[in-house]
Copies of this chain bind each other. A is one copy, B any other.
Amino acid sequence: MQAEIITIGDEILIGQIVDTNSAWMAKELNGIGINVGKITSISDQEADIVSSLKQAMERVSLVLITGGLGPTNDDITKKTLSDLFEMNLVQDDFLFAKVEQRLWQRGIPMNRFNREQALVPDGARIITNNHGTAPCMWFEKDGKVVISMPGVPFEMKGIMQDEILQSLKQHFSTPVILHKTVMTQGIGESVMAEMLEDWEGNLPACVKLAYLPSPGVLRLRMSLLGDNLAELEKIIEEQLSALKKIISANIFGYDDEPMELTVAKLLSDKGKTLGTAESCTGGKIAHLITSHAGSSSYFKGGVVAYSNEVKENILCVNGEDLEKYGAVSQQVVEQMAIGARKVLNTDYAIATSGVAGPDGGTQEKPVGTVWIAVAGPNDLISHRFDLYKNRERNIQVASLNALNMLRNLLQK
């Protein structure tokens, strides 16, 4: 079962807003067995709307449209669809009363634009919008379904969840779709492809594999299409256990769970606390951890030790070692981790010190050189990484590497 999404609005085409609606809708549709084959963003122009919709209806049985339903002159979706499906715009009394009440609550008199908001095409099914005043319309023609929804994200999401997803499940007999995403760290895309060549070659035909790289993390996504959920789940289980035999140590989680949440669960399960001592990552690790609700139960705090003075004064790094080995060294990063664990009074501490770039590199320690240490009750481990030339990427990848070192230690 294939669908397409069309988003209408100039604001997307001039880059003023990012279209986050489509990704959300695609994910929800996937969840009920509907594949999105194409997403198209077009302007508020009648000719564009008509031609894009006609083309989409030739390809698939379901088209979801968002946007262009506001009360102002530039919003023409309702009129255009009404003309296209040869319907007349008539007043919807329920909608009229709702618009009237909203305006009354705000002490605003009704004008022409408001009255037009209550007009709907006489042949369409009107779906209740509990989240605003724009009408949501369900059109059917020649066995095809076209749904028009407002573009405001919370209105669209509300309507989809309240009624549309349920109606679609009833209207179409949809197959089962199953996705499983494996989160990995420490192996690049091409090396991974080589390591998995045999496994990938032997995947059953119903499994589609995708490599999804992002800085520091490579996600492997298996997608399965079928009729029987239990059968698909069994195939996933089998393939997953075969995969684990090859890259077990590099798998840190599943289904888009970020690294810091994997670490958080391990810490919580063991009842242990964490602190950070960051030089080159500059607070990014603390920020990742504290982005999640509940982090205060395992994260006590951190020190962003950007200057050597702070490394010495707060983290008790030896001044002579700083002089002798430099801030980016095994000696210093290990002392930072030990010092953080002590001064923050935590079970574990992670420390980073490196040359993030673009300046500050030397022959011996070029841009991208990063030392990371993890200190625990019975352990002190440290590792040198040779990363990239890009500052943003170095900060991101070093943060993930640091969390991954802690994960490995906690899972030992």
Contact = CB atoms under 8 A, between A and B. Distances in A.
B71 A309 contact: no
Nearest to A19: B19
Given A105-B386, A302-B303, A113 B310 contact: no
Contact of A293 (B105, B152, B391): B391
A144 interface: no
A371 interface: no
B18 A386 contact: no
A209 B191 CA distance: 49
Interface in A374-409: 386, 390-393, 395
Interface string A95-108: 00000000001101
Contact of A40 (B38, B105, B214): B38
Contact of A291 (B11, B309, B391): B391
Interface in A43-58: 43-44, 48, 52, 55
A300 B194 CA distance: 44
Contacts of A293: 356-359, 391
B23 A15 contact: yes
Given A38-B41, A39-B12, A190 B111 contact: yes
A206 interface: no
Interface string A8-47: 0011111111111011111110100001111111111000
A28 B13 CA distance: 11
Contacts of A313: 343, 345
A306 B287 contact: no
Given A15-B25, A27-B16, A307 B300 contact: yes
Copies of this chain, tallied across the complex: 2
A229 to B, nearest CB: 17
Contacts of A307: 296, 300-301
Contact of A290 (B10, B17, B55, B282): B282
B30 A194 contact: no
A353 to B, nearest CB: 12
Contacts of A19: 18-19, 22-23, 39
A123 interface: no
A92 interface: no
Interface string A206-231: 00111111110000010100000000
Interface string A282-304: 11111101110111100111111
Contacts of A43: 37-38
A276 interface: yes
A194 B71 CA distance: 10
A262 interface: no
A74 B190 CA distance: 12
A299 to B, nearest CB: 5
Interface in A337-375: 343-345, 356-359
A73 B15 contact: no
Contact of A18 (B18, B210, B304, B391): B18
Interface string A154-188: 10000000000000000000000001010000001
A193 interface: yes
Given A16-B212, A301-B307, 17 more contacts: A10-B210, A13-B39, A14-B179, A18-B19, A40-B40, A40-B41, A55-B55, A70-B189, A70-B211, A72-B190, A105-B386, A113-B194, A117-B190, A282-B290, A282-B295, A293-B391, A303-B303
Interface of A: 10-20, 22-28, 30, 35-44, 48, 52, 55, 70-74, 105-106, 108, 111-114, 117, 131, 152, 154, 179, 181, 188-191, 193-194, 200, 208-215, 221, 223, 256, 276, 278, 282-287, 289-291, 293-296, 299-307, 309-310, 313-314, 343-345, 356-359, 386, 390-393, 395
